[in-house]
């Protein structure tokens, strides 16, 4: 294929793939974002833009291995009932509603900083909803607190969510250094979230008594606690945290070994653990790696960065990178946005800016992050409707305030 035709083909594939990222799929086709990314990668190989070997080499394997390993660890903890038990402990506290909100926010944020925030929400949402209904509390503010706090808390570390794992692995950020950088804006953002939701709680009327069917539908999603299996998962996770903080050992290899240890189980069959691995997310990563690398090889990426610089938008500077990350994260979601911007991320500020902004931007709308969608779907199965306007009344101000806090912190650190 002539170079001009090849570049045109790359641009066409890229445009279709990122249109799918924006729309959540392609019109009239039963494709979600994962399907679109996978077909984009297939098109790159099928049109001979890249050979299968080149496509395989474009995949950042350390990120895939790290993401997979923590999915296995989170699956172990979910099967062991750890997340559900944590939610039951929080909601059983005999405290006022605003204090309970603070406990939910702090607990879900802490768990999401260490484990994948999506699985934390998946396991905790039914327990939290049930407890609120039994206490005659409106469950919606608490469920929104769970989703928002999980997103915010996951920004605190380089293992809290998929995009942070990618950023940390590609830019080789120090685990402890990033934690210190993110701790202040994350902590302040959680306080701001608590203030906003506590104000909403004071205006919320008591919830009606739940029906037996409603409680039964929520109970069906809760795993019973297995102390030994939960302890195994926690031991591996804490060991990995120590390794990440105090050694220079490769994170992906250590996490993979930890996942392998957990798979050696007499209780949980491998198929049960593997069924809880988010294979679609892994395939989404693989497809986007291939498509984005094809665009990079064509030279279009560097030309776009040069054009932006000529027009005063220098992605190597913190301000423009902050703004572009915020815009793209809400257009195509945070993982594709980060993948697109990583080749242009240079300087000490780039990693924290990308990680914090792309994650906090996910609170804006329901579709902004998978954690939001998981909580809303879990609520719906329990007969609790959280439509997009209700979420936006919390998500929009939370996003604006937390991004303002982050911008102030990053600007102060840059001076």
Which residues have CB under 8 Å from 274's CB, separation 6+? 75
Residue 333 lies in domain = 3-414
pLDDT tens digits for range 118-174: 888 988 888 898 888 888 888 999 999 999 999 999 999 999 999 999 999 999 999
Task: Tell me the average pLDDT across 251-258.
Answer: 96
pLDDT at 210: 63
Cα separation of 411 and 415, whole Å?
7
pLDDT at 221: 59
Under a CB-based contact definition with an 8 Å cutoff, are residues 117 and 363 in contact? Answer: no
Total count of domains within the chain: 1
DSSP 386: -
pLDDT at residue 220 tops 60: no
pLDDT tens digits for range 263-322: 998 788 899 999 989 999 999 999 999 999 999 888 888 888 888 888 888 888 899 999
Q: Which bin fits 285, alpha (ψ -120 to 50), beta or left (φ > 0)?
A: alpha
Cα separation of 344 and 213, whole Å?
52
Structure tokens at 142: 């608490």
pLDDT level of residue 402 (50, 70, 90 thresholds): very high
Cα separation of 136 and 276, whole Å?
32
Q: Residue ranges of the alpha helices (H) in 115-161?
A: 117-134, 139-154
């Amino acid at each position: 294929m002539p170079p001009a035709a090849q570049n045109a083909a790359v641009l066409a594939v890229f445009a279709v793939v990122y249109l799918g990222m924006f729309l959540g799929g392609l019109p009239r086709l039963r494709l979600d974002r994962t399907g679109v990314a996978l077909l984009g990668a297939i098109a790159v190989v099928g049109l001979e833009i890249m050979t299968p070997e080149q496509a395989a080499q474009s995949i950042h394997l350390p990120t895939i291995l790290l993401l997979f390993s923590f999915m296995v660890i989170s699956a172990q903890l979910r099967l062991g009932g750890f997340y559900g038990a944590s939610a039951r402990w929080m909601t059983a506290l005999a405290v006022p509603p605003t204090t309970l909100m603070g406990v939910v926010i702090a607990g879900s944020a802490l768990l999401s900083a260490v484990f994948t925030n999506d699985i934390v929400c998946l396991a905790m949402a039914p327990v939290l909803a049930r407890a609120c209904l039994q206490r005659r509390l409106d469950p919606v503010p608490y469920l929104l607190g769970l989703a928002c706090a999980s997103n915010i808390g996951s920004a605190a570390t380089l293992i809290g969510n998929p995009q942070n794992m990618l950023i940390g692995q590609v830019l080789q950020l120090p685990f402890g250094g990033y934690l210190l950088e993110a701790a202040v804006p994350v902590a302040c953002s959680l306080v701001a979230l608590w203030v906003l939701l506590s104000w909403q709680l004071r205006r919320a009327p008591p919830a009606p008594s739940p029906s037996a069917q409603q409680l039964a539908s929520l109970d069906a999603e809760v795993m019973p606690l297995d102390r030994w299996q939960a302890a195994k998962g926690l031991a591996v996770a804490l060991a990995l945290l120590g390794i990440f903080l105090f050694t220079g050992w490769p994170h992906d290899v250590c996490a993979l070994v930890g996942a392998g240890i957990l798979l050696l189980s007499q209780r949980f069959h491998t198929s049960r653990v593997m069924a809880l691995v988010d294979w679609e997310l892994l395939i989404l990563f693989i497809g986007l790696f291939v498509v984005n690398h094809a665009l990079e090889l064509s030279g279009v990426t560097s030309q776009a960065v040069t054009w932006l610089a000529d027009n005063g938008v220098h992605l190597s500077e913190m301000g423009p990178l902050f703004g572009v990350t915020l815009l793209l994260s809400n257009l195509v979601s945070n993982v594709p946005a980060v993948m697109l911007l990583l080749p242009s991320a240079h300087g000490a500020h780039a990693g924290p800016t990308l990680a914090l902004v792309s994650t906090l931007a996910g609170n804006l709308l329901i579709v902004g992050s998978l954690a939001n969608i998981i909580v809303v779907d879990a609520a719906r199965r329990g007969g609790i409707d959280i439509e997009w306007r209700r979420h936006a009344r919390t998500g929009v101000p939370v996003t604006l305030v937390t991004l303002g806090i982050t911008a102030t912190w990053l600007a102060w650190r840059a001076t």
